[in-house]
Amino acid sequence: MKKVLFATVLTFVMFSSCSNDNDNQNSTPLTQAEIDDLKFLREEEKLARDVYLFSFNKYQVSIFDNISQSEQKHMNSILNLMNKYGIPDSASSEIGVFNNPDLQLLYNSLTAQSNISLVEALKVGATIEDLDINDIDEFIGNTTKSDLLNVYDNLTCGSKNHIRSYTSQLSSNNVTYEPQFISIEYYTAILSDSNGGCGNNQ
């Protein structure tokens, strides 16, 4: 009986210590790199949402509507982290407007391409997810905080689902997408996997 009680107490102490470590880790201030990454990612997810809304309004194809809703969830996940750490929201509430000038230029370019045809809009979708995966992989290397990593993992999972969906639609139109940001090996590995659940972020 004493052995069982000791083991139970030891397990509780170890779990409490682990939990405290995680709590302490997640309550420490963010580095400037982590802050910059969250600010950028908040607007990058908005870029995806806004471009897909543009494409859906033009072509009325459900893939753009469905994935734009997913991108809104991604935006919300990043905003929750920003609120937790007291970081002002970096995203404009106006569709198609960005505080980051590079993302504003990218939005203008991608919507112009999407406006050409449905196939070009699908290529834009794959390109955005390609870029997102590449950027988030970089941001993962800038943090050890479990709450940020959990969100980054969920967003990457969602982007992999999305690029598979856009690739499938392009294949149906006899078009092959060639990745511009991630490696061809990484892209091929993503396509070989099946879609999976990604927390609340699909």
Mean pLDDT of 80-100: 97
Q: Looking at 28-145, list the stretches that DSSP marks H as alpha helix, in order from N- to C-terminal side.
A: 32-59, 62-84, 101-114, 118-140
pLDDT of residue 80: 97
Q: What is this structure's pTM?
A: 0.85
Residues 140-173 have pLDDT tens digits of: 999 999 999 999 999 999 999 999 999 999 999 9
- Cα–Cα distance, 179 to 69 (Å, whole number): 24
Report in angstroms the alpha-carbon separations of 37 from 70, 78, 97, 167. Answer: 20, 10, 19, 27
CATH, domain 34-192, list 3.30.365.10, 1.10.3210.10, 3.90.1150.10, 1.20.1260.10: 1.20.1260.10
pLDDT of residue 197: 62
Mean pLDDT of 17-32: 64
| Domain ranges within the chain, ordered by starting residue | 34-192
**HSE of 54, CA atoms in CB hemisphere, 13 A:** 25
Angle at CA of residue 67, ends 187 and 176, nearest 5°: 35
Average pLDDT over all residues of the chain? 88
Q: Which of 10-14, 74-78, 87-91, 138-142 has the lowest mean pLDDT?
A: 10-14
pLDDT of residue 7: 43
